[in-house]
Amino acid sequence: MELVFALAIGALTAGGVYLLLRARTFPVVLGLTMLSYGVNLFLFASGRLATGSQPVLGTAAQYADPLPQALVLTAIVIGFAMTAFVVVLSLRNLADHGDDHVDGDPKKRTPTSKHARERRPL
């Protein structure tokens, strides 16, 4: 069980990190979101895994560690606030530069467009 859990965190981290390293705001936002999923699961894991032993008194014989759960809850909320802010900030960036590149002004950017290729979706 632990291996599946660990691999899931690994995949979330890997996916998140890869997206963070992209050049447009949207994938970066996705990356941040995914990374925070991974991190939340990780923080959750610091209290170890438990099955059917939710930390509500009187509902189980043994209880899962409630503290990491509380921490993760706080982290989720904070993460949400941060994500919202960064989403809006990328909109501002878009409004200011007419482009959603993470480095802003297309004219002032170091040209990476050597590889830039337009592709239609779907």
Partner 1 sequence: MTHWLLAPILIPLLGAILQIFVGYAPMPLRRVLAIITSALTLAAAIVLLNLAGDDTYRVYAMGNWQPPFGIVMVLDRLAAMMLVLTASLALLCHLFAIGGTDEGTRQFHSLFLFQLMGLNIAFLTGDLFNLFVAFEILLIASYGLLMHGSGSTRSTPGLHYVVLNLVGSSLFLISVGMIYSVTGTLNMADLAVKVPLVSGDQRFLVEAGGMLLLVVFALKAAVLPLTFWLPRAYASATAPVAAFFAIMTKVGIYGIIRVYPLVFGANAGEMANLGMNWLFPLALATLIMGVIGVMGAQTLRTLVTWQLVISVGTLLAPIALGSQKGLAAALFYLLSTTWTVGGLFLLIELVRSQRGSASDKIVMAPQIRHRTLLSSLFFFGAVSAAGLPPLSGFFGKLMILQSTTSGVEMAWLWGTILTGSFFTLIAYSRAGSVVFWRNIEGEIKNSTPVTPLLALSTGALIGMSVLMVALAGPISAYTSATAAQLLDTRGYIQTLQAPMVEEGS
Partner 2 sequence: MSLPLVVLLPFLGAMAAPLFAQGGRTAIAIASTVPALIALAALFPHWQTLADGGVVLYTYEWLPALGLSLSFRLDGLSLLFALLILVIGILIILYARYYLKPEENIGKFYGLLLCFMGSMLGIVLSSNLLLMMIFWEITSLVSFLLISFWTHKKGARRGARMALTVTGGGGLALLAGILIIGQIVGSYELDDVLAAGPIIKAHALYPVALTLVLLGAFTKSAQFPFHFWLPHAMQAPTPVSAYLHSATMVKAGIFLLARLYPALAGTEQWFYMVSFTGMATLLLGAYIAMFKHDLKGLLANSTISHLGLIVLLLGMGTELATVAALFHVINHATFKASLFMAAGIIDHETGTRDMRRINGLWRFMPHTATLAMVAAASMAGVPLLNGFLSKEMFFAESLALNLPGYWAWLPPIVATLAGIFAVAYSARFIHDVFFNGKPINLPIYPPHEPPRYMKIPVEILVFACLMVGMFPTISVGPLLYAASSATLGVPAPDYKLAVMHGLNLPLFMSFLAFFGGLLMYSQRKRFFAFHDRFREIDEKAIFEKVVFSLGLRANRFTAATENGSLQRYVMLLIVSALAVAFLPISEMGLFIGSNGLTPVDWPTATLGAVLIASALATAAMHRERFFALVLISVVGLLTALTFVRFSAPDLTMTQLSVEVVTVVLLMLALYYMPSWTPVESSRGRRVRDMGIALLAGSGMTIITLAILTQPFSSISEFFLANSKTGGGGNNVVNVILVDFRGFDTLGEISVLAIAALGIFAMLKNTTLTPPPGDGLGHAWARQSHPTMLKQIARPMLPMALMVSAFIFLRGHNLPGGGFIAGLITAVALILQYIASGFSWTEDRIAMRYHNMIALGLLFAVMTGAGSLAFGYPFLTSTFGYITWPVVGKFELASALVFDLGVYLAVVGATLMMLVSVGRISPHSAIRAIPSESSHDADTTTLTQRETE
Partner 3 sequence: MIAIVLKISIALVVIAALLNVYRLIVGPHAPDRVLAIDTLAINAIALIILLGITLNTRMYLEAALLIAVMGFVSTVAMAKYLKRGSVIE
Verify binding: residue 60, partner 1, rule CB under 8 A. no
Question: Which residues on neighbouring strands pair with residue 24, listed in sequence order?
Answer: 101
Verify binding: residue 106, partner 2, rule CB under 8 A. no
CB-CB contact of 34 with 16 (8 Å): yes
Using DSSP, state whether 36 is helix, strand or coil: helix
DSSP 102: T
Verify binding: residue 56, partner 3, rule CB under 8 A. yes
Of the candidates 65, 4, 75, 84, which has an alpha carbon nearest to the alpha carbon of residue 36? 75
For the bound state, the minimum distance from the C-beta of residue 59 to partner 3, rounded and expressed in Å, comes to: 6
Q: Which of 80, 97, 106, 107 binds partner 2 (CB under 8 A)?
A: 80
Of 111 and 121, CB closest to partner 1:
111
Q: Which of 97, 106, 107, 115 binds partner 2 (CB under 8 A)?
A: 115
